[in-house]
Amino acid sequence: MDGIRYYDDKPESCRCCFFWKNRKTGCILEERNCYYLAETVKSEQEKKCEGCCYAKTQPCVSACCYKELDRWLKASREMRREKDGAQNEQK
């Protein structure tokens, strides 16, 4: 995995790790949950939900993204205000 930081005590090969089971199974923790990872690996969905007030502990599981929906609602409100302001000026 490129760009991922590991702790210094990580073995050179995963085969030397305590969590390596065998050649067929491999690591029982998988790369994503490696014991020696210095930082957690985020999926695309988790990166997308970063900073979203609706996804405090985990990413959204709904069909639509609340962060995008909120952005769309704010934009539509602004457009409505501008439209109403332009109509008020014409009167």
- Work out the pLDDT band at 5, boundaries 50, 70, 90: confident
Total domains present in the chain: 1
Task: Specify if 9 maps to a domain.
Answer: no
Calpha distance 26→81 (Å, rounded): 59
Backbone dihedral angles phi then psi of residue 32, each to the nearest 5 degrees: -65, -30
Task: Specify if 45 maps to a domain.
Answer: yes
Task: Specify if 6 maps to a domain.
Answer: no
How far, in Å, are 2, 20, 28, 83, 86 from residue 32 at the CA level? 12, 14, 11, 49, 54
Range of the structural domain that residue 82 is part of: 14-90
Task: Specify if 77 maps to a domain.
Answer: yes
Task: Specify if 2 maps to a domain.
Answer: no
Q: Is the pLDDT of residue 75 over 90?
A: yes
39/84: higher pLDDT: 84
Amino acid at 19: F
Task: Specify if 7 maps to a domain.
Answer: no
pLDDT tens sequence across 16-63: 888 888 888 888 888 778 888 877 666 666 677 777 777 666 666 666
Structure pTM? 0.39
Calpha distance 26→28 (Å, rounded): 6
Task: Specify if 8 maps to a domain.
Answer: no
